[in-house]
Chain A
Amino acid sequence: MKHIKTINYGALKNSINKPGCKECANSCQSACKTSCTVANLECESK
């Protein structure tokens, strides 16, 4: 496309095919403890 460059093709929508295993860490357990950021967790079921 000339006017649009897509850099992500819909990771959220595509992740619906994952098992949703909930094996990943909880957001407060990496560093924050005062502010919740879920999007920077890592998936355990890549």
Chain B
Amino acid sequence: MKIHKYKQCGLNIVIDVNSGAIHVVDDVVYDILDFYEEKSKDEILNTLKGKYSIDEVKEGIEEIENLINEKMLFTEDMYKDIVLKDEGPSFVKAMCLNIAHDCNLRCKYCFASEGNYHGKSELISFEVGKRAIDFVIKNSGIRHNIEVDLFGGEPLLNFETVKQIIEYAKSEGEKNNKNIRFTITTNATLLNDEIIDYIDKNMGNVVLSIDGRQRVNDNIRIRRDGSGTYSDIMPKIKRMVEKRQKDKQYYVRGTFTHENLDFYEDVIHLSNEGFKEISIEPVVLPEDNPLSLKEDDIPKIFEQYDKLTEEIIKRSREGKAFKFYHFAMDINGGPCIYKRISGCGAGYEYVAVTPNGDIYPCHQFVGNDKFNMGNVFDGTLNSAISKEFKNGHIYNKPKCLDCWARFYCSGGCQANNYNFTGDIHNPYELGCMMMKKRVECAIAIKAKLSQE
């Protein structure tokens, strides 16, 4: 597939898949493109002559030809060799550090099995944390930037160790000329002024979990006694965001499930509460779980993304813009093609480390022995698994090669692919459908606002 075209926000949008060029076209060109590759000029004229004037169709064809000559339409894939010939070393430069395999909440959709990842409840020790930092610095090779995500379970259950690990990482980073950036993901229940201040000073990003409206949040994000968390966490999240220095990132992040397919309302609720960086993401659960998303839910989900697209455009015009994580695409910039063809990086650039020091390709594989890649105390990484993930790029994923969105999603989430299809090379289709819709919406927003 060389081009993708669709209608949204009253625009006809055409994406040239391989060059990344994006065009807004009128109805004449939109219709010509249906036949351009299969039919001759005369055949196209003949087919469309009842709908448009001959001159219009001729002009449209001419403009298409111009873009083809300028390599902005119907371009061929020119990147395959780059990735297939890349036999250089890989450097691990991103780590999900599981600070606590334990949680004070019992969220119904938790992929980490309520915090313990199907194992025993455990908090990371400073010693393991130190080794993990040493491991990532050592394996980061020539990379300067290192990302460490403090994750769980709930990492603030182990806040004193978080502080120790960060102090150590800062000092080791300096010694080794590495820029180590921290993110913490928290359910916000344990935030207090001291912790808020510490997070603001030390974390490049903080991800604050809340699902949106009180009813929705309290249906899912519950304590052990079944009570909801909204009234406790909302004021704390607000305090954290108010305190946040303006040049530093945060995300207020939630999950939507089969039970709140009207998740547009949750995004808008969070926006109305004053948050500017919002992410509401689809739950990923096995089909038999009542909260899981089903194929039948797709029309409703798409409708919500469409509504959100319109509302974001409206609020942008009114100067009340907010960032919705999945639509936050810089169509004129963003990652280079080298990054886009190399996939998410799990297993060879990015790893997860558990409280006992075990290493997995990413946080979603934690607990699956088949994917245990080693331990930070050995300091080695299973090279066969690493290689398998490095080779799990779009050119080794047959379905991705036929997909127009391959340079936007880079082959999807390896864990979702594995969990749903048994093979990292075989995409999780429901995820693909939603991903494609979100990319369309993200581009439509840019296209619409660029017209004004």
Q: How far is the CA of A8 from the CA of B255 in the complex (A)?
A: 32
Q: How many residues of B contact A (CB 8 A)?
A: 94
Chain A minimum-CB-distance residue to B29 = A3
Of B130-138, B235-243, B328-336, B374-382, the stretch lying at the interface with chain A is B328-336
Pairwise interchain contact B66-A1, C-beta atoms closer than 8 A: yes
Q: Is the CB of A6 within 8 A of B21?
A: yes
What per-residue 1/0 map shows which CB atoms of A2-46 lie under 8 Å from chain B?
A: 111111111111011010101111111111111111111111111
Residues of the B chain whose Cβ atoms lie less than 8 Å from the Cβ of A32 = 279, 281, 325
Q: Contact between A38 and B408 (Cβ–Cβ < 8 Å)?
A: yes
Q: Which residues of B contact A26 (CB under 8 A)?
A: 94, 147, 344-346, 349-350
Asked whether B330 lies within 8 Å of A42 as measured between CB atoms, the reply is: yes
Q: How far is the CB of A23 from chain B (nearest CB, A)?
A: 5
Dominant SS among interface residues on chain A: loop
Chain B contact residues, majority secondary structure: mixed
Q: Are B344 and A7 in contact (CB under 8 A)?
A: no
Task: Tell me if B335 and A29 are in contact (CB < 8 A).
Answer: no
* Minimum CB distance partner of B334 in chain A: A39
Given contacts A7-B23, A30-B325, A42-B330, contact A35 B67 (CB under 8 A): no
Q: Are B143 and A12 in contact (CB under 8 A)?
A: no
Q: What's the nearest-Cβ distance from chain B to residue A14, in Å?
A: 8
Residues A28 and B363 in contact, CB atoms below 8 Å apart: yes
| B215 interfacial contact with A, CB 8 Å | no
Judge if B412 is at the interface, Cβ distance under 8 Å: yes
A4 to B350, CA, bound (A): 41
The answer to whether B251 touches A30 (Cβ under 8 A) is: yes
Query: Judging by beta carbons under 8 Å apart, are B350 and A29 in contact?
Result: yes
Within the assembled complex, what's the spacing in Å between the Cα atoms of A15 and B443? 18
Which A residues are CB-close (under 8 A) to B411? 36
0/1 interface trace, chain B 407-425, chain A, CB 8 Å (1 if under): 1111111101000000000
> How many Å lie between the Cα of A8 and that of B22 in the bound state?
5
Q: Are B22 and A38 in contact (CB under 8 A)?
A: no
24 A-B pairs within 8 Å (CB atoms) are namely A5-B23, A6-B67, A6-B72, A8-B20, A11-B332, A12-B19, A13-B19, A13-B71, A18-B338, A29-B205, A30-B251, A31-B251, A34-B282, A36-B344, A36-B411, A38-B335, A38-B343, A38-B408, A39-B340, A40-B325, A40-B334, A41-B334, A43-B336, A44-B145
| Residues of chain B whose beta carbon lies under 8 Å from any beta carbon of chain A | 16, 18-26, 28-29, 56, 59-60, 63-64, 66-67, 71-72, 75, 78-79, 82, 91, 93-94, 96, 111, 143-145, 147, 149, 151, 181, 183, 185, 205, 207, 249, 251, 253, 255, 279, 281-284, 325-326, 328-340, 342-346, 349-350, 362-364, 407-414, 416, 431, 434-435, 438-439, 442, 446-447, 450-451
**Shortest 4 CB-CB contacts between residues of A and residues of B:** A12-B20, A20-B338, A10-B19, A15-B336
